[in-house]
Chain A
Amino acid sequence: MRSARSSDKRQPKTPTGITGFDEITGGGLPSGRTTLLVGGPGSGKTIFALQFLSLGARECNEPGIFVAFEETSQRIVSNAEAFGWKLAELRKSKVYFMDAQPSADVVQSGTFDLSGMLAALGVKIKEMQARRIVFDALDVVLALLPDPADRRREIHRLHEWLLANEITGLITAKAGGDEMSAFSQQQFSLLQFMVDCSVTLNHRVSRGVSQRNLRVQKFRGSSFDENESPFVIGKNGFDVALARSGRTDAKVSQERVTSGVKRLDTMLGGGYYRGASVLITGFPGTAKTTLSGAFAEAACERGERTMFVSFDSDGSEVMRNLASVGIRLERFTKSGTLRMVSARTITGSAETLLVHIKTLAREHESRCLVIDPVSTLAKVGNELTAHGVAERLIDWSKVDGTTLVCTSLLDEMSSQDSGSTPLQISTIADTWIHLNYLVQAGERNRGLSIIKSRGTEHSNQVRELILSSNGVTLADIYTAGGEVLMGTLRWEKESAERTAEEVAEVAGRLKRLSLDAEEAVLEVRLKSLQTELIAKQAEKMLLERSTASRKGETSRGHIRMRELRGADAAKPRTKLSRP
């Protein structure tokens, strides 16, 4: 009809404000065209429609009209109260609700048409400058028409009217699945053919778990994602999961954050990267929770808002258990830095869990997130979707720059070496730390090894993980005779080495002492010899002096004798003065 007009240009789109849907369709519903939204009862058609209208009214300055064929506007507005779209407020000016439910006391006689309603709507559109319109549960009113030909005629009438008004229309109808009785296949296909865009919602229960899916069936003049996408009706309305976000151009950070265990940081060459996703795998009881708790504590100590999602036990239980190994988280929950979430209370599909986690994390503005264990996502009923969910979890945390630490339980039956996780997320995680047991000499000890760590140099060593009331630490393990020693064996080895060291040290000290003694003896001897030398020298001097005086005495004696004899007195005197 008017398709020629838009062939030269890309079909303009009207955003719906539904997370994920606008991405799937590349912008939203076709502007000025009609979209058919089909789904079984309780599949979320009305919520989709309300979200579409409320976004237009709140953010796009596009007032809207809601034609309610099934529920009263009163009920619709109060049901949607919880989503925070402020419908009650918007109702005053921006969103008009038309109660067009066929009332019970209206008698029907013969056929009728919708001209009255469309004429009235025409007035309202002009009055409000409405740009969006929703016909909710068109099947209800069509079912009143006795003749299939009349129904076809009314569908045509509505379509013509929508085109003439150039308003973005959304028609919802109960159909699809096996709910075709009220709305015959023929009319359904007529509607499908008429509209420019068609979206199907379905709600399946697979092994007791509810799974909601959305699929765009057609979109004239536009490309779209043809796959079924899981969606959730959460706190803020619809949340459609993108099968593949495709645009993970997340900001890559060089910043490191500590793992909470000093020696593990060393093994990783400085810690985890900020915004990285870390996977900790291991069997039950290998201290996965403890290791992730250490990370959470360290993050809180830096003052970063952290969320700890526990699927196994209550938040308070986790905190009590972690306190026993010196990880005290309670102080941070009090200050609000840490949020403990017990996800056992969240029921539903893996998709629902993901949306809940995302919503909570956004509310809390978490920079670090711990999910313990992520393998819960793959529990019965979710096997098919869980892998996609885990992938989206990692994608999402990357885009948001959240550092994510996930633990994953390994299947007890799977062999230790294969170490495959049920979700296969080990391939997309950035860092993968594996914990296992080593049973040896009647003991079970925990071993830690880094299987991979993208972009960081990391140790290839297996370390023993030791938990004590002082905290978590790693110890080197000993290899002796090709065997890895842990626990008591390691301790024995260590103590043997300590003893050997001690013996060597004592021996050294003894040697030094005896050398000291010898030195002392020599010094003493040296001193006594010196003294002896001085004595000898003194003796020698004395001897010389006494010899000289004796000689003098002798010569003086001769002179005296000569003087006494009175002979030749003068001559010997001169002789004597000469020498």
Chain B
Amino acid sequence: MSRPVVFKFLLYVAGDAPNSTQALANLTALCRVHLPDRHEIEVVDVFREPKRALDDRIWMTPTLVKVSPSPGRRIVGTLSQPEPLLQALGLSA
């Protein structure tokens, strides 16, 4: 790891719905383990910012969007299964 790459995430949640809180918890845990000190998470509440969900074409909640590094990816769900998630984020060893 020559230079640290910062992962930027957008997490769309539906208020404090169980799925959404679970996703946020899972994401934070994952970042702590795999991406310590090189991640940014922005949480978007679709109830508060529905227009943004519409513009970003977010239909299912929770949805995690990896903004950078490219390629951008979308992961839908509570993020409770780490294997496909890590694979999608390019973090699987």
A residues at B contact (CB < 8 Å): 98-100, 102-103, 105-117, 119-120, 122-124, 141
- Interface residue count on the B side (C-beta < 8 Å): 36
Please report the C-alpha to C-alpha distance between residue A114 and residue B14 in the assembled complex, in whole angstroms. Answer: 9
Please report the C-alpha to C-alpha distance between residue A99 and residue B59 in the assembled complex, in whole angstroms. Answer: 9
Give per-residue flags for B68-80: 1 if the beta carbon is below 8 A from chain A beta carbons, else 0: 0000011111111
**B17 partner residues in chain A, CB cutoff 8 A:** 113, 115
Our pick among B15, B53, B73 for the contact of A120 (Cβ within 8 Å) is B53
CB distance from B43 to the nearest CB of A (A): 13
Give per-residue flags for B13-56: 1 if the beta carbon is below 8 A from chain A beta carbons, else 0: 01101011011001000000000000000000011001101100
Cβ A109 vs Cβ B85 within 8 A = yes
**A113 partner residues in chain B, CB cutoff 8 A:** 14, 17, 19, 60-61
CB distance from A159 to the nearest CB of B (A): 17
**A103 partner residues in chain B, CB cutoff 8 A:** 74
CB distance from B50 to the nearest CB of A (A): 4
CB distance from B33 to the nearest CB of A (A): 15
Our pick among A107, A110, A116 for the contact of B59 (Cβ within 8 Å) is A116
Question: 23 A-B Cβ contacts within 8 A?
Answer: A98-B59, A100-B59, A102-B60, A105-B73, A106-B74, A106-B75, A107-B74, A109-B78, A109-B81, A110-B79, A110-B81, A111-B77, A112-B61, A112-B78, A113-B14, A114-B60, A115-B15, A115-B61, A116-B14, A116-B63, A120-B59, A123-B54, A141-B60
Q: With contacts A109-B75, A116-B61 known, what are 16 further pairs, Cβ within 8 A? A: A106-B74, A107-B74, A107-B76, A107-B87, A109-B79, A109-B80, A109-B84, A112-B60, A114-B60, A114-B61, A116-B63, A117-B53, A119-B50, A120-B46, A120-B53, A122-B50
Cβ B79 vs Cβ A124 within 8 A = no
Residue B6 lies at the interface, judged by CB distance under 8 Å to chain A: no
CB distance from B85 to the nearest CB of A (A): 5
Give per-residue flags for B55-67: 1 if the beta carbon is below 8 A from chain A beta carbons, else 0: 0011111110000
Cβ B19 vs Cβ A112 within 8 A = yes
Cβ A107 vs Cβ B60 within 8 A = no
Cβ A116 vs Cβ B58 within 8 A = yes
CB distance from A124 to the nearest CB of B (A): 6
Residue B12 lies at the interface, judged by CB distance under 8 Å to chain A: yes
**B78 partner residues in chain A, CB cutoff 8 A:** 109-112
Please report the C-alpha to C-alpha distance between residue A112 and residue B46 in the assembled complex, in whole angstroms. Answer: 14
CB distance from A135 to the nearest CB of B (A): 11
Instruction: Please give me the residue from chain A that is nearest to B63 by CB atom.
Output: A116
Please report the C-alpha to C-alpha distance between residue A102 and residue B57 in the assembled complex, in whole angstroms. Answer: 11
Residue B88 lies at the interface, judged by CB distance under 8 Å to chain A: yes
| Pairs of residues from A and B, 5 with the lowest C-beta to C-beta distance, nearest first | A115-B14, A110-B78, A110-B80, A110-B77, A117-B59
Please report the C-alpha to C-alpha distance between residue A102 and residue B84 in the assembled complex, in whole angstroms. Answer: 17
**A110 partner residues in chain B, CB cutoff 8 A:** 19, 22-23, 26, 77-81
Q: A116-B58, A120-B46, A123-B54 are in contact. Are A106 and B14 (CB under 8 A)?
A: no
Cβ A108 vs Cβ B59 within 8 A = no
**A106 partner residues in chain B, CB cutoff 8 A:** 74-76
Please report the C-alpha to C-alpha distance between residue A113 and residue B54 in the assembled complex, in whole angstroms. Answer: 16
**A124 partner residues in chain B, CB cutoff 8 A:** 54
Please report the C-alpha to C-alpha distance between residue A120 and residue B17 in the assembled complex, in whole angstroms. Answer: 16
Cβ B46 vs Cβ A119 within 8 A = yes
Cβ B85 vs Cβ A111 within 8 A = no
**B53 partner residues in chain A, CB cutoff 8 A:** 116-117, 119-120
Cβ A115 vs Cβ B47 within 8 A = yes
CB distance from A304 to the nearest CB of B (A): 57
Q: A113-B19, A116-B60 are in contact. Are A123 and B50 (CB under 8 A)?
A: yes
Our pick among A98, A99, A112 for the contact of B62 (Cβ within 8 Å) is A112
Please report the C-alpha to C-alpha distance between residue A112 and residue B22 in the assembled complex, in whole angstroms. Answer: 10
Please report the C-alpha to C-alpha distance between residue A109 and residue B92 in the assembled complex, in whole angstroms. Answer: 15
Instruction: Please give me the residue from chain A that is nearest to B54 by CB atom.
Output: A120
CB distance from A126 to the nearest CB of B (A): 9
**B79 partner residues in chain A, CB cutoff 8 A:** 109-110
Please report the C-alpha to C-alpha distance between residue A355 and residue B19 in the assembled complex, in whole angstroms. Answer: 51
Cβ A108 vs Cβ B46 within 8 A = no
CB distance from A424 to the nearest CB of B (A): 54
Please report the C-alpha to C-alpha distance between residue A548 and residue B46 in the assembled complex, in whole angstroms. Answer: 165
Instruction: Please give me the residue from chain B that is nearest to A99 by CB atom.
Output: B57
**B87 partner residues in chain A, CB cutoff 8 A:** 107
Please report the C-alpha to C-alpha distance between residue A53 and residue B82 in the assembled complex, in whole angstroms. Answer: 42
Cβ B59 vs Cβ A111 within 8 A = no
Please report the C-alpha to C-alpha distance between residue A519 and residue B63 in the assembled complex, in whole angstroms. Answer: 130
Please report the C-alpha to C-alpha distance between residue A105 and residue B22 in the assembled complex, in whole angstroms. Answer: 23
Please report the C-alpha to C-alpha distance between residue A231 and residue B23 in the assembled complex, in whole angstroms. Answer: 48
**B47 partner residues in chain A, CB cutoff 8 A:** 115, 119
CB distance from A568 to the nearest CB of B (A): 180
**B80 partner residues in chain A, CB cutoff 8 A:** 109-111
Our pick among A99, A100, A109 for the contact of B77 (Cβ within 8 Å) is A109
**B54 partner residues in chain A, CB cutoff 8 A:** 120, 123-124
Instruction: Please give me the residue from chain B that is nearest to A120 by CB atom.
Output: B54
Instruction: Please give me the residue from chain B that is nearest to A116 by CB atom.
Output: B61
Cβ A107 vs Cβ B84 within 8 A = yes
Q: A112-B61, A119-B53, A123-B51 are in contact. Are A107 and B14 (CB under 8 A)?
A: no
Please report the C-alpha to C-alpha distance between residue A108 and residue B75 in the assembled complex, in whole angstroms. Answer: 6
Please report the C-alpha to C-alpha distance between residue A108 and residue B19 in the assembled complex, in whole angstroms. Answer: 13
Cβ A119 vs Cβ B85 within 8 A = no
Q: A110-B77, A112-B78 are in contact. Are A120 and B23 (CB under 8 A)?
A: no
